[in-house]
Amino acid sequence: HYENNPEHVRPTPANSNVPHVLLLLFLLVFQSSDPQGQCLAAPQTPLPTYKQRYDEFKKLFKELPDTERLVVDYPCALQRDILLQGRLYLSEKWLCFYSNVFRGTKISLTLKDIMTVSKEKTARWIPNAIQINMNTEKFFFTSFSAREKSYQTIFRMWQNTLLNKVKHTHTHTSRFVTFALHGKTYLI
């Protein structure tokens, strides 16, 4: 009965160690994992530091003021004729994007000139995109790993810039009115 059953494989020297090897591989992969589930046996690329990202930002966007400070950056893609995989950089006053796909694409938008920031979907149902509308152009960024968090940060920075713009305009208006109330006349 033992030899006549084709579904039963009798251990032989060639296949007798297979279960042990599989168990050993399983243990190596899953027992050597860190708490986030990444295999420690696999080579790890160190995460870039803030200084490395800041230096990269300054090197790519030399036209920005030297005082401009990087706040956060996100890997994402810009939707054009094709998806341009790249990185979005958000600084105190600028939203920038760089992709080295093909000849490279570089975009620098001042936050104060942005008209709207909206959450969008790709393929009509995947909520992973953000659209930035300027006066004459629209920029559709997609493939965010954490779209909600990215949107909130971009939206808050944009709103803060608009509030500072209004505050700055109001301050200048108040100065004019103040000077006029003190009997001095200024032609502006």
CB 151 within 8 A of CB 141: no
Say if residues 62 and 94 touch (Cβ distance below 8 Å).
no
- Please name each of the domains of the chain with its CATH number: 1-44 (no CATH), 50-178 (2.30.29.30)
What is the rounded radius of gyration, in angstroms, for the C-alpha atoms of the chain? 28
Using alpha carbons, list the distances in angstroms from residue 75 to 56, 72, 144, 158, 176: 14, 11, 7, 19, 45
Q: Give residue 118's pLDDT.
A: 97
Predicted model pTM: 0.65
Is it the case that residue 13 has pLDDT exceeding 60?
A: no
**pLDDT tens profile 150-167:** 999 999 999 999 998 776
Contact (CB, 8 A) for 138 and 131: yes
